[in-house]
Amino acid sequence: MNILITNDDGISSQGILALERFLSRDHNTYLVAPLKEKSCTSMALTLFSGMRVEMINENHYIVDGFPADCVNIGLYSGIFPEIDLVLSGINRGVNMGYDVHYSGTVGAAKHGALHGKLSISVSSVRIDPEDGYEREAILVRDFIKEYSAKLQNDIVYNLNFPEEIRGKKDITELKWTHLGRRVYREHYIKKHIIGGVSEFTLNGSELDRLHEEGSDFEAFENGYIPISPVRLNMTHSEELLRWQMH
């Protein structure tokens, strides 16, 4: 397969390099990533202004833009051959539950799915581990080998790796889950500038979750590797039907 690998942590992140290192043994890999970190940018695109795209070597490019820009460049600029799979990650930190709406990692994969490509997003709770995400990259390689023929093009398959994987510590420990529900509480620091003008700085978020059976949070906390199929069609079917029947 021709695999486009991207992320939201930037070109020098260990996670993206680990994916390339292990997947390039069996596939054609093409790396295109943001020039610098673009976390929490969802599916943002650069419009009405140019982006600088720099070739590092034949199959490596950096883009002065967002993760979804990187996918767009990889798919439509002509620098790579036809792409079969968009792979986004490995993110430094998990992307579970409602966090997927914010995540640049998941956003890049969603952009791939939106344009008809098999799409996988990968995140890990480990931050810059000593093995350089070798463990996760090997398991992603195994997952693609085992499951790629069964995946659908209009879905994002969202993988998250816990600190310690239970049991055999391989892809038999995957658990198919639904997205859990986050509870957010935000805090801002306010700095008065002049008159009615103030500067507000987001000073972190308190994250909680609802405890639900079968969620990605539950599987993750029990040492499984949760994988959640995320659809693009966000229509609330039950609510639509309720009003159609009204």
Determine the Cα–Cα distance for residues 141 and 87; give it in Å rounded to an integer. 11
CB 75 within 8 A of CB 45: no
Q: 183 pLDDT band (50/70/90 cuts)? A: confident
- Please give the pLDDT value at position 28: 98
Conformation bin of residue 83: beta by default, left when phi > 0, alpha when psi is -120 to 50: beta
- Please give the pLDDT value at position 211: 86
Mean pLDDT of the chain: 95
- Please give the pLDDT value at position 143: 98
- Please give the pLDDT value at position 150: 97
Determine the Cα–Cα distance for residues 52 and 2; give it in Å rounded to an integer. 24
The 3 state secondary structure assigned to the chain is CEEEEECCCCCCCHHHHHHHHHHCCCCEEEEEEECCCCCCCCCCCCCCCCCCEEEEECCEEEECCCHHHHHHHHHHCCCCCCCCEEEEEEEECCCCHHHHHCCHHHHHHHHHHHCCCEEEEEEECCCCCCCCCHHHHHHHHHHHHHHHHHCCCCEEEEEEECCCCCCCCCHHHEEECECCCEEEEEEEEEEEEECCEEEEEEEEEEEEECCCCCEHHHHHHCCCEEEEEEECCCCCHHHHHHHHCC
Determine the Cα–Cα distance for residues 151 and 22; give it in Å rounded to an integer. 20
Q: Give the mean pLDDT of 150-176.
A: 97
Q: Give the mean pLDDT of 149-169.
A: 97
List the chain domain ranges: 2-181+212-244
CATH of domain 2-181+212-244: 3.40.1210.10
Global confidence as pTM = 0.94
> What tokens appear for 204 in the block?
């972190």
Q: 227 pLDDT band (50/70/90 cuts)? A: very high
- Please give the pLDDT value at position 201: 92
| pLDDT tens per residue across span 73-90 | 999 999 999 999 999 999
| pLDDT tens per residue across span 89-140 | 999 999 999 999 999 999 999 999 999 999 999 999 999 999 999 999 999 9
- Please give the pLDDT value at position 92: 96
Q: 208 pLDDT band (50/70/90 cuts)? A: confident
Q: Give the mean pLDDT of 25-51.
A: 95
- Please give the pLDDT value at position 135: 98
Q: 182 pLDDT band (50/70/90 cuts)? A: confident
